[in-house]
């Protein structure tokens, strides 16, 4: 297992959970990267030179770039992050949707880049001070929605871009892919039929050759359709993996079991004890280059480990259905739009922030006076949203929201979390619903066919109606009920008090200790979302301590 880094113009592999390969040379360029190409045959056919059968995916990408530049990269369907040394320039390439991450920084030896933010921040000359704006973003979104990181001097390369970092410190960013709205007034039957064809191709592309495959199955329509199509298309065994907790919290296991039986696949249910979650919380947070406030991170890691232990090298998942086809997050925003009095995109962006229902309204009491003063010197959190929520490439509000979700939560939360946790387990997580062609087609489907009345992802459901029981297709989305408050009151109680009351947390001077203590005592009227807020703060502090930021 390896990740990669480039320092002083020298690309190399470093230890860490990843799939890095290289360095390779072609056309006077040297490249190192982490790459999985799903359409190798088509990529090879487009090249002018003959390559050996055992050519790696990083070499394929490098050759495509040598021959056609960013256009060659744009035609590749896959998961990749690539760093290319081109003379004195360093060229960074990240896949269309952000399946793999890549960071860069200015150091004493010039530009440096790495798939490991921990390694990059340790490079001499890198500004590893705490970026307080990232703290606000995390407490608002529960992840970092754009290029910023918690280190002042480290930036994340954005997906769908080729970024050329010049020796003089300047840079040029070239967009090789961005979804675009297309007016295609065909009826729903025609769109559903074409969507089904693309869904089957997206799943087939991601099936491992000659091996069994695992599928993460929650019982919702997205993971269920991936399970159903994998069972139909794969010639090797398919095993579905689901999570349960050792509490009386409502779950969806009944639906997951129904889908597994309907599809005729094996079904493995992993019960995650609260104590096991507490024991592995700090370790799991430390695996993430940027923290995410998702309480399913530890269960996701354990599920990937279970799949790996049973011999799987690839796990499919149903991630992407909500950001690509219109999940439940859009309805509150559409209702807001009907009744809002304040015109302008910034009011819409502010409502989008509020829709996350995290710690945005608590920031004045949650952060210290010094931290709040530092924040006043920074750009507002709405800045990252405004380009997507204003009238531009997307004309309808629903498509603007989908574009926002895709480029923020999709690229910086969903995909990166899956990639890090599966890589740490020695397997590769693949998301068919984030297929580039699928996304392009989603923006051809008229908005009224995606959100049909109050039925979300309607066209997606029509496309797979024959493959799943009607109970699955037509049931309202509920999501897994995660027993966060029970964990915080039980197995996580000691860890939470120890971490948030630690000398490191107090000395950092970031979080107001009075507010944190009040939250730990459950003072005031913070319920019922208090558990989620405390989870966010705990995750933040664990990550900062692991990466030694803001000491």
pLDDT, one tens digit per residue, over 160-193 is 999 999 999 999 999 999 999 999 999 999 999 9
What is the pLDDT, as a whole number, of residue 355?
84
Given a cut of 70, is residue 479 above it in pLDDT?
A: no
499 pLDDT above the threshold of 80: yes
Instruction: Please determine, for residue 337, whether its predicted confidence score (pLDDT) is greater than 80.
Output: no
| Percent of the chain clearing pLDDT 90 (strictly above) | 80
64: confidence class by pLDDT, cuts 50, 70, 90 = very high
Residues 366-370: what's their mean pLDDT?
95
Split at pLDDT 50, 70, 90, the class of 528 is low
Cis upstream peptide for 316 (omega within 30°): no
334 assigned ligand-binding residue: no
User: Measured between alpha carbons, how far is 283 from 288 in angstroms, rounded to an integer?
Assistant: 10
DSSP string, 397-429: HHHHHHHHHIIIIIIIIIHHHHHHHHHHTT-EE
**pLDDT-based confidence at 312, cuts 50/70/90?**
very high
57 labelled ligand-binding: yes
Return the minimum-mean-pLDDT range out of 13-27, 93-107, 194-208, 330-344.
Answer: 330-344
pLDDT, mean of residues 97-119 = 97
Q: pLDDT at position 333, please?
A: 78
Q: Is the pLDDT of residue 329 over 70?
A: no
pLDDT higher than 60, residue 527: no
CB-CB contact of 370 with 434 (8 Å): no
243 is in an annotated binding site: yes
- Alpha-carbon distances, residue 35 vs 259, 305, 406, 549 (angstroms): 32, 22, 21, 30
- The answer, yes or no, to whether residue 289 has pLDDT greater than 90, is yes
525 pLDDT above the threshold of 60: no
- pTM value > 0.85: yes
53 pLDDT exceeds 90?
Answer: no
- Distance in angstroms (rounded) separating the CA atoms of residues 419 and 252: 24
CATH 3.60.20.10 segments of the chain: 2-129+149-175
Cβ-contact 410, 301 below 8 angstroms: no
Please give the pLDDT value at position 331. 75
CA 289 to chain centre: 12
- The owner of tokens 């080729």 is 162
Distance from C-alpha of 186 to C-alpha of 21, rounded to nearest angstrom: 44
- Distances 20 to 100, 289, 487 between C-alpha atoms, Å: 11, 16, 36
Is residue 4's pLDDT more than 90? yes
User: Smallest Cα–Cα separation from 396: which of 355, 468, 337?
Assistant: 337
Determine which of 10-14, 27-31, 473-477 has the lowest per-residue pLDDT on average. Answer: 473-477
Per-residue confidence at 247, pLDDT binned at 50, 70, 90?
Answer: confident
Q: What is the mean pLDDT of residues 524-536?
A: 75
- Give residue 403's pLDDT: 95
Candidates 93, 98, 106; CA nearest to 79 is 98
- Average model confidence (pLDDT) across the chain: 93
Q: Where in the chain is the domain with CATH 3.40.50.620?
A: 188-326+400-473
Please state, in angstroms and rounded to a whole number, the distance separating the CA atoms of residues 482 and 66.
48
Mean pLDDT for the stretch of residues 79-92: 97
What band does 273 get if pLDDT is binned at 50, 70 and 90? very high
Q: What is the CATH number of domain 2-129+149-175?
A: 3.60.20.10
Mean pLDDT computed over 328-343: 75
| Residues 6+ positions from 400 with CB-CB distance below 8 Å | 388, 389, 390, 394
User: Homologous superfamily of 188-326+400-473 in CATH?
Assistant: HUPs (3.40.50.620)
Instruction: Report the percentage of the chain scoring pLDDT > 70.
Output: 97
- C-alpha R_g of the chain: 23
- Per-residue pLDDT, 392: 82
User: What is the bridge-based pairing of β-strands 213-216 and 103-107?
Assistant: unpaired
**Residue-level pLDDT at 316:** 98
| pLDDT value for 545 | 96
Whether residue 97 contacts residue 113, with contact meaning beta carbons closer than 8 Å, is answered with no
Q: What is the pLDDT of residue 452?
A: 86
With a cut of 90, say whether residue 12 has pLDDT above it: yes
pLDDT confidence of residue 58:
97
Mean of pLDDT values over 520-543? 83
pLDDT band with cut points at 50, 70 and 90 for residue 281: very high
């Amino acid at each position: 297992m390896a990740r990669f880094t480039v320092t002083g113009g020298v690309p190399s592999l470093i230890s860490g959970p990843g799939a890095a390969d290289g360095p390779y040379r072609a056309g006077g360029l040297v490249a190192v990267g982490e790459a999985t190409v799903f359409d190798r045959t088509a990529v090879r056919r487009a090249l002018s030179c003959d390559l050996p059968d055992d050519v790696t995916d990083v070499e394929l990408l490098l050759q495509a770039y040598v021959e056609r530049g960013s256009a060659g990269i744009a035609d590749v369907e896959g998961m990749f992050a690539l760093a290319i040394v081109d003379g004195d320039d360093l060229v960074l390439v990240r896949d269309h949707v952000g399946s793999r991450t890549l960071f860069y920084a200015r150091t004493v030896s010039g530009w440096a880049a790495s798939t490991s933010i921990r390694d990059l921040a340790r490079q001499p000359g890198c500004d590893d001070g705490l970026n307080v704006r990232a703290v606000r973003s995390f407490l608002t979104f529960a992840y970092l929605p754009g290029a910023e990181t918690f280190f002042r001097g480290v930036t994340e390369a954005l997906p769908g871009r080729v970024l050329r970092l010049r020796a003089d410190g300047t840079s040029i960013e070239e967009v090789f892919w961005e979804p675009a709205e297309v007016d295609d007034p065909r009826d729903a039957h025609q769109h559903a039929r074409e969507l089904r064809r693309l869904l089957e191709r997206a799943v087939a592309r991601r099936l491992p050759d000659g091996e069994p495959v695992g599928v993460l199955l929650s019982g919702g329509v997205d993971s269920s359709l991936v399970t159903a199509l994998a069972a139909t298309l794969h010639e090797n065994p398919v095993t579905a993996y689901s999570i349960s907790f050792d509490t009386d919290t409502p779950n969806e296991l009944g639906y997951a079991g129904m889908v597994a039986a309907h599809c005729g696949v094996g079904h493995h249910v992993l019960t995650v004890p609260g104590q096991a979650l507490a024991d592995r919380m700090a370790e799991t947070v430390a695996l993430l280059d940027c923290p995410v406030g998702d309480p399913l991170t530890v269960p996701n890691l354990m599920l990937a480990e279970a799949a790996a232990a049973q011999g799987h090298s690839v796990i499919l998942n149903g991630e992407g259905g909500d950001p690509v086809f219109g999940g439940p997050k859009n309805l509150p925003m559409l209702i807001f739009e009907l009744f809002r009095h304040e015109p302008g995109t910034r009011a819409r962006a502010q409502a989008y922030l509020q829709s996350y229902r995290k710690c945005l309204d608590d920031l004045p009491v949650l952060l210290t006076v010094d931290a709040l003063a530092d924040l006043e010197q920074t750009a507002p959190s709405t800045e990252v949203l405004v380009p997507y929520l204003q009238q531009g490439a997307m004309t309808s509000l629903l498509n603007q929201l989908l574009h926002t979700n895709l480029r923020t939560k999709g690229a910086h939360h969903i995909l990166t979390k899956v990639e890090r946790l599966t890589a740490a387990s020695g397997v590769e997580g693949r998301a068919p619903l984030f297929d580039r062609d699928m996304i392009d087609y989603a923006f051809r489907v008229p908005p009224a066919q995606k959100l049909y009345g109050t039925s979300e992802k309607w066209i997606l459901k029509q496309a797979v109606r024959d493959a799943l029981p009607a109970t699955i297709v037509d049931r309202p989305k509920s999501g897994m009920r995660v027993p966060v408050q029970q964990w915080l009151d039980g197995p996580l109680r000691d860890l939470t008090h120890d971490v948030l009351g630690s000398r490191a947390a107090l000395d950092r001077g970031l979080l107001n200790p009075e507010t944190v203590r009040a939250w730990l005592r459950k003072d005031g009227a913070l319920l019922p979302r208090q558990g989620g807020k405390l989870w966010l703060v705990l995750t933040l502090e664990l990550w900062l301590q692991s990466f030694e930021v803001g000491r």
